[in-house]
Structure 1
Amino acid sequence: MKPSVKPQNPNFSSGPCSKRPGYDVNALSLETLGRSHRSSLGKAALGEACSKTAELLGLPEGYRVGVVPASDTGAVEMALWSMLGARPVDVVHWESFGSGWYSDITKQLKLDDARSITADYGQLPNLDDVNFDHDVVFTWNGTTSGVKVPDGDWIADDRTGLTICDATSAVFAMEMPWEKLDVVTFSWQKVLGGEGAHGMLILSPRAVERLENYTPAWPLPKIFRMTKGGKLIEGIFKGATINTPSMLCVADYLDALNWIESLGGVSAAIKKSEDNLAVVEAFVAENDWINFLAAEKATLSNTSICLTLDATADQVKAMVKLLDSEGVAYDIGAYRDAPDGLRLWGGATVEKADMEALMPWLAWAYQEVTA
């Protein structure tokens, strides 16, 4: 039978992701609008975005946080273009975004000592193959495959290369071993449900040392430059952004950080996300026509929950369209490069009750399109 209860919030998109529960744009602190981002007021707001991020994440002493252009993509590219080339690089990738970084490293930077350590969708590469005398580029969570690294135990404490981690769908949703990560990037529109176009770049002291002691062989665009006269431009990590940010988006991000703090911090946000995954796990266990794309439970993402169905590609598309037309779930089709299926966002801005309400609708829609 057709379910009678719909999710109160049908936004299950994997990016931009659902706004936080209770979000009200009228509650944002907007005194920065119409003011220069270089004013004391603007710098203070941007500085707070950096310092509060570091505080909530519990970053180690000496780690720096900066607001940078062009979302997570911009933050990753800044790191790749500014730091790679000093050592060989291992690129660990198992879905489209990680594969994109490998393509940029080999086709744009044209590094001939780049090694691909890869696996198909649903699988995780053999992490024992990584050489930590090399720089290492990887995603913590494969947003388009629903496969994450299970922990940071595979990362060598005595590494001589840098670890460069794209963590856009993991930060604020998964435990991160910060001491093992030299560069971490994420964007506001993922786990925090913020707005797009801005990225966050976290640097360890080892990453700063690389920036100050290595000059790439290629020219760097202005928005990638983090040093001047051989020294880190510290202002970037204190609120003096490279280019003009949206102060409305900054206000929105600060609202999201305040919400995380009100929950009880990052651990509470992680728990909310894990509870959402548990709902889907129970549903999959009860229905033999739906499965996780991730092959191993230890690698199962609690944010980008990717599912395969015993259905044709056209049937899956019809199911996605049907749930959209019913106002039950928006934007839940698999990523365009991924295998056919569903992708449900399970980050902390999604309420467990909404995930629970969605499950009977998945069963109904499947029966409708496959009958």
Structure 2
Amino acid sequence: MTETLQFKRHRRLRSSKAMRDLVRENQVNKDDLIYPLFVVEGEHVKNEVPSMPGVFQLSLDYLAAEMAELQALGIKAVILFGVPNEKDELGTGAFVDQGIVQKAIREIKDKAPEMLVIADTCLCEFTSHGHCGVIHHEDVANDESLELLAKTALSQAKAGADIIAPSNMMDGFVAAIRRALDEAGFKNIPIMSYAVKYASAFYGPFRDAADSAPQFGDRKTYQMDPANRLEALREAESDMEEGADFLIVKPAMSYLDIVRDVRNQFNAPIVAYNVSGEYSMVKAAAQNGWINERELVMEKLTAMKRAGADLIITYFSKDVAKWLAE
């Protein structure tokens, strides 16, 4: 009976591991990985983030060892977040020459010159109110905030950052930063824009790590509504027109359709941000023995590549690099 049936034998290309490897369409590589770092003031500080097992706040004296570990694993890029001791209404610590991020950039470039340093450019970790700009009547003043964001980006470039990554979601933030960099002679510093950043519940653990929870209200007037899809293309289009070199989609796991939309629409490197809540859920399930952590992580990062991401910001970078080396 089966001899008379006409059907295609797709299983031929799944018959062995070697065969599956041969025809695999998407793969995660070490060069795809960007590792987030949280730097803090003080000395001998290595605080594990309670809601993010395996992720630490590090003082500057730990950065040399951290860079050595990352380089040994083959990880070539980090993105920096700073946690200052002092905060004020304007987030002054974000743009002073001796700010924690600026000092960390210089330390990394001194100890590991080949490491690509991406500076997250925002004010929320540095403001006493936890919002991403200047506050007027409990609302973020867009245009006044642009001036401070441009100052922040310029200070990070002067400190030696290789890439500026503005994450504040103010209208016009790429244009303001691009102009400031160009006028100061930093025409060759690229901008990795958080072009598509949703007001997501997946950010909770990050706010523990970066001490950046808003002290009133929320960020829904400047971060995107998770229900919206076309709005993502408008945001990305604006940033490309203003001079963005990379486009970030954040979060990644629940927004793979948006990653694909942005990939289809724009001919620029696309970055998926595998955010803190996505990390912590997997870690919690793994610690309870409910999942195979390695298989799940590789599956979801591969899904990000399949959706169209060129690069992935992920707290799993070290784990993935070790697995890929086996």
Answer yes or no: same fold by TM over 0.5.
no
By relative contact order (CA 8 Å, sep 6+), the higher-ranking structure is 1
TM-score by length of 2: 0.26
TM-score by length of 1: 0.24
Greater helix share, structure number = 2
